[in-house]
Chains A and B, each alone.
Chain A
Amino acid sequence: MDAMAELGAGSLLLGDPAFNYQEAELNERLKRLYPAVNEDETPLPRSWSPKDKYSYIGLSQNNLRVHYKGHGKNHKDAASVRATHPIPAACGIYYFEVKIVSKGLDFLSSLLPLSPIPGWDKHSYGYHGDDGHSFCSSGTGQPYGPTFTTGDVIGCCVNLINNTCFYTKNGISLGVAFTDLPPNLYPTVGLQTPGEIVDANFGQQPFVFDIEDYMSEWRAKIHGMIARFPIGERLGEWQAVLQNMVSTYLVHHGYCATATAFARATETLIQEDQTSIKNRQRIQKLVLAGRVGEAIEATQQLYPGLLEHNPNLLFMLKCRQFVEMVNGTDSEVRCFSVRSPKSQDSYPGSPSLSPRHGATNPNLHSAGADSPTCSNGVTPPNKNKSHNKYPGVSSASSSSSSSPSSVNYSESNSTDSTKSQPHSGTSNQEETSDSEMEIEAEHYTNGVAENPSARIMNGTYKHQEILQAQDISLEDSCASRQLCGGNQAATERMIQFGRELQGLNEQLCREYGKNVTHKKMLQDAFSLLAYSDPWNCPVGQQLDPMQRENICSALNSAILESQNLPKQPPLMLALGQATECVQLMARVRSGSCSFARVDNFLH
């Protein structure tokens, strides 16, 4: 009854801007303290629960203040309240504080495990203010700390890594109180004396005790543990695994030349043959350049039957093609534009996106230069410098082949030494792309983490090429950012293509039944036509070249799968597994997961 009233008061305050501000601050602090906690799965305690409390307990001030309103005659009149949620294991280290606003004959019990019936006084862990004793699931206490009284701030820290707990008094740690704690504990307070009032701080205010410093010690401990994890005699094996991971990653994304050089240096084998790699690379590049029509054509030509067996993929590609037509980038509409068709490089600033070398030029090294990462404009200035730098060391390091990059260089150096200057320049670029690959890996995880379905996106495109593409499209067509490049004939072709697409959808519906995703995709794509400026409309997001990445990797995976190759590179698989593993640790209540975040180890 009382609880209801106070709950009402609490919801009244929700509209209060000050309250919202506080709420935002709380969210921010909790996010910083417990970054590993997924609040959708395991919400953090934010206030006392109006439901899980004794009737002698009154709540106020957003359910943070607790006061006692019973008789307080004997122990039977003691009453307690627990927080809205148990402490999630993913916190690693959890902390909350209680300020004694007004003291009676106090009694503060602060942790309870989840129990089927609210039989609160069983399995409770507490620290009592009147005698300073700690209580562990029983009525008899152990001498533990000092007594506490009005004005004192008592904190409770649960270490979910080693399952211990310690209390603090006014910012001073009192030492371990309990060990071998069970999981799913609730923050709790118990009161016993009329007039007794305590205020909770679940992160609403800065804590008196420096919990972040304590956490930093444990973070360092866990990181040290991981860093020192023994590999032992399997050292050689370990290296082979790593090399294999790098190699398959390169192959997957079609970094053909780099992959070959790497394989040579490390004496590993590449499963896929080079033409296949290059084909895939070419198709990917077409998609990423927005020339989806050509990509479909090439796929059909190189992998007959693939798209026919994957109608969904084909539909996705066609939808994208439509979007690219709106964008004015697809070749079917580009041929109508003032600019020359296929033969011309669509993005003068990034030669690598041009398909011209890929199929025609057998030289591996220039194909390597084609590799998307090389489009980065920063390489050329470095070229000379790095070129001069290496020969001095090369003789020394060639004997010990532990460093892949330098060996890679010296190898290609020796083979290319008789060749012309541009080639060695190219091999330098490979050098750079090697190192950039590492950066890419980092973006990859971001992609994985953001996208729980573990769809792989190549972050490099996002960060480098696409930006460049945008720049260029702005630069060369700031005024002409019009529908289908502003060409009438192209627009007509687009409309026609739209009809064909509609037809395809209907056909698919007939064959496979209704597909909501397809319908949505089609609707979104067609919606673009409803706006005078499709780039600045609610569905304009589709025109962002970044959107090409999903479909590009889907197509790449499909091709690989059709060749009986893994559709995901093992490196990404390993990363995904590691990330998943950490999340699993949280679910099985292993607290150390909070300090073993995968992204902490990707530099």
Chain B
Amino acid sequence: MACLLEAPLRISVLSEVTATSRHYVDRLFHPDPQKVLQGVIDMKNAVIGNNKQKANLIVLGAVPRLLYLLQQGLSSSELKTEVLGSELRTEVLGSELRTEGVVVLGSELRTECVVLLGSELRTEGAVVLRTECVVVLGSLAMGTENNIKSLVDCHIIPALLQGLVCPDLIFIEACLRCLRTVFISPVTPVQLLYTDPTVIPHLMSLLSRSPRTQDYITQIFSHCCKTPEHQTVLFNHGAIQNIAPMLISLSYKVRMQALKCFSVLAYENTQVSMTLVNVLVDGDLLSQVFVRMLQRDLPIEMQLTAAKCLTYMCRAGAIRTDDRCIVLKTLPCLVRMCSKERLLEERVEGAETLAYLMEPDVELQRIASVTDHLVAMLADYFKYPSSVSAITDIKRLDHDLKHAHELRQAAFKLYASLGSNDEDIRKKITETENMMDRIVSGLSESSIKVRLAAVRCLHSLSRSVQQLRTSFHDHAVWKPLMKLLQNAPDEVLVMASSTLCNLLLEFSPSKEPILESGVVELLCSLTQSDSPALRVNGIWALMNMAFQADQKVKGEIVRALGTEQLFRLLSDPDTNVLMKTLGLLRNLLSTRPHIDQIMSSHGKQIMQAVTLILEGEHSIEVKEQTLCILANIADGNTAKELIMTNDDILQKIKYYMGHSNAKLQLAATFCISNLIWNEEGSEADAMTGCQERQDKLRELGFVDILHKLTQALDPNLCERAKTAMQHYLA
């Protein structure tokens, strides 16, 4: 067999292969079909709960032979044999029960026995043999991941899928159970379910056959629905209509699997969510069915999964955020999932789902922040592994350690979501015991998931002016943040740089130390990133940095960024980048000496860029920002001349003064107003310059326009025009 000697592990196993294992495989090749059947049955009894035996048989090539027998049976009725006596069956059952003494996988054994009892009534040899083959294969799949790999390599999936066309229910159930076991393993490529387009519709049609087919098929769907494309395929084949009735099945298992399936289908999927919200199950809306599943005396798994379904439907816009079923049911349920009484896994899932639910809605954030002391409850997420567990119980310590990262990142995510809008909540969070310290240490944790969540949390809190001024400064969060920025994946970088933007706001006391740490180079390099988000953040931070900065900082920014990069950013396809770059320019061109200095060295390029933008197809906001830059330039002493001598620009200003948009009119008028400004008490030569400019502008017809604008409806515009006129007269 080709798959035999793949891994060194196999070789070592091979050496231990006993003669008995060999014997089981040999019997599958016997000429007498009945002997073969008995061989398969014996093999089944031998492998149940015995991982070593499973590995042995796989190594010895049982799988291809079993698949061959399976397919043979499907194509011919050659192997038809007589009825199996019930005595034989009883004996088999007996021996099987005896194997319980071996390494037992309890549930596996039970399901296998159930199958056995089910198949008791079967009479046709061929079907019996095929079923037994599948049962053995299913048993092999219940072993290790390596077993699954071997099975998948032997093309078990297409063979089993093909078997589903057989009319025999017991056989179909055996195939589905085996497929389920294979597909829920992380080593199986889910794509294998979608390669044959007839598979999904056929599975849908099998859903009505029995509670078992429902259980297995929905499990397969839940595990194989990983992308929006998968969701669409399942949706298009009527998954919702087919699975919805299962939500009121008598079997808890079936209800639970159907619920899980819906949670996977609805996740970030508007189409599915919008359809779900209108589905009726036994006269009740699906959302009501889900709400009933949130009842507190039901198993936690069901409450949690139902809450997920409602959350996803809400996030997709299918349920309003102020709906009672969200505010009074889903949200409190998710908060309960975060409580200390729940298992660590449930607490992680609960917190993550809750964070996702309320992310865009400040009202939900406010409600959650007062529900059951959630903010304080989350502080407990950081106490794993607890000091107690380390001493008393090694097993518990291991369990705690495994979940510690997950718990921390979930808590950070939830804090980030809670604090993303409301100032009071942010205050509450930062006042939670050791919260800032926890974030700071979270920023340098080894787990990238925790780092990312911590920086998200920090970002959320950094939107608070008060926190920036107090706790952020007290805990010097900029230090780990800067460190994080040195070497991190893009995801983290986006969040970290965005946080940095806030830390660089002029009122932030962290601004000074960050500047001194040589952040400019780093930010400039961000502006060269391929990711638009990083480019925006880089330039945004620079913009904030330049705001009311001194000459030295501004000079450093211009030097580090370079005019070439600056102009590249001015033609960036991302409007956000363009806007922030214009913002940076505007901040650089403030206060007269700075304006004159920058314009004297880069005037030509800047004027060029401004012209280009004003001529290009840009939004009102971009043009407004550009006109504001012109207005700043017009405020300079020497820089003014760059406009006055540029008739093209003057024509453009004139055009925008007559634009239909008041904002653009105002910005353009501002510009002209600065040009005709006569500084009181300034030198005579400046006065003359002023006179000249006024004359030239009059010639160009600006006075008439200003006149008209004094009658404008917009009071700001009107006021600005009047002031400008006054300067004219002065």
Contacts and interface: CB of A to CB of B under 8 A. Distances in A.
Interface of A: 145-146, 166, 169, 171-176, 210, 213-214, 216-217, 219-220
A176 B373 contact: yes
B343 interface: no
A172 B296 contact: no
Contact of B296 (A145, A166, A174, A220): A220
B328 A216 contact: no
B372 A174 contact: yes
A172 B377 CA distance: 16
B297 interface: yes
Contact of B371 (A174, A214, A219): A174
Contacts of B374: 175
A123 to B, nearest CB: 24
Contact of B328 (A166, A171, A176): A171
A588 B296 CA distance: 28
Contacts of A214: 296
Contacts of A174: 370-373
B297 A172 contact: no
B332 to A, nearest CB: 6
Contacts of B327: 171-172
Interface string B281-298: 000000000000001110
B277 to A, nearest CB: 22
A176 B296 CA distance: 17
B367 interface: yes
A213 B295 contact: yes
A146 B332 CA distance: 16
A172 B371 contact: yes
Given A213-B295, A217-B296, A220-B296, A173 B371 contact: yes
Contact of B370 (A171, A172, A210, A213): A172
A214 B296 CA distance: 7
A146 B371 CA distance: 10
Given A171-B328, A172-B328, A172-B367, A216 B295 contact: yes
Among A169, A172, A176, A210, max chain B CB count under 10 A is at: A172
A4 to B, nearest CB: 41
B529 to A, nearest CB: 43
Contacts of B295: 213, 216
A175 B372 contact: yes
Contacts of A210: 328-329
Interface string B336-376: 00000000000000000000000000000001001111100
B297 A219 contact: yes
Contacts of B297: 216-217, 219-220
A175 B81 CA distance: 68
A216 B296 contact: yes
Contacts of A166: 372
Nearest to B373: A175
Contacts of A169: 370
A146 B370 contact: yes
Given A175-B371, A216-B295, A217-B296, 10 more contacts: A171-B328, A172-B328, A172-B332, A173-B372, A174-B370, A174-B371, A174-B372, A175-B374, A213-B295, A220-B296
Interface in B406-434: none
A176 B341 CA distance: 14
Given A213-B296, A214-B296, A219-B297, A145 B328 contact: no
30 contacts: A145-B370, A146-B370, A169-B370, A171-B328, A172-B327, A172-B328, A172-B332, A172-B371, A173-B332, A173-B372, A174-B370, A174-B371, A174-B373, A175-B371, A175-B372, A175-B374, A175-B377, A210-B328, A210-B329, A213-B295, A213-B296, A214-B296, A216-B295, A216-B296, A216-B297, A217-B296, A217-B297, A219-B297, A220-B296, A220-B297
Contacts of B296: 213-214, 216-217, 220
B428 to A, nearest CB: 9
Interface in B86-121: none
B96 to A, nearest CB: 15
Going nearest first, the 7 A-B pairs with the smallest beta carbon separation are A217-B296, A175-B373, A220-B297, A175-B372, A216-B297, A146-B370, A171-B328
B436 to A, nearest CB: 19
A214 B332 CA distance: 11
Interface string B370-392: 11111001000000000000000
A210 B371 CA distance: 14
B97 to A, nearest CB: 11
B193 to A, nearest CB: 38
A175 B374 CA distance: 8
A594 to B, nearest CB: 15
A364 B150 CA distance: 67
A159 to B, nearest CB: 13
A254 B374 CA distance: 62
Interface in B288-329: 295-297, 327-329
Nearest to A217: B296
B90 to A, nearest CB: 9
Nearest to A216: B297
A416 to B, nearest CB: 27
Nearest to A224: B297
B264 to A, nearest CB: 27
A179 to B, nearest CB: 13
A26 to B, nearest CB: 23
Interface in B658-685: none
A339 to B, nearest CB: 52
A596 to B, nearest CB: 15
Contacts of A216: 295-297
A173 B373 CA distance: 9
Nearest to A208: B328
A171 B367 CA distance: 10
Contacts of B332: 172-173
Contacts of B328: 171-172, 210
Nearest to A219: B297
A213 B298 CA distance: 10
B307 to A, nearest CB: 14
B325 to A, nearest CB: 11
A25 to B, nearest CB: 23
A213 B336 CA distance: 13
Nearest to B371: A172
Among B295, B327, B329, max chain A CB count under 10 A is at: B295
Among A145, A213, A214, max chain B CB count under 10 A is at: A213
Nearest to A223: B297
A171 to B, nearest CB: 5
Nearest to B296: A217
Contacts of A171: 327-328
A175 B338 CA distance: 13
A166 B373 CA distance: 11
Contacts of A172: 327-328, 332, 367, 370-371
A145 B297 CA distance: 27
A175 B370 CA distance: 8
A522 B521 CA distance: 111
A133 to B, nearest CB: 13
Nearest to B431: A143
A216 B298 CA distance: 9
Contacts of B372: 166, 173-175
A146 B297 CA distance: 28
A219 B372 CA distance: 20
Nearest to B324: A171
A169 B328 CA distance: 11
A523 to B, nearest CB: 53
A211 B164 CA distance: 49
A173 B370 CA distance: 8
A216 B373 CA distance: 22
A172 to B, nearest CB: 5
A132 to B, nearest CB: 9
Contacts of A175: 371-374, 377
A595 to B, nearest CB: 11
A217 B337 CA distance: 13
Interface string B452-491: 0000000000000000000000000000000000000000
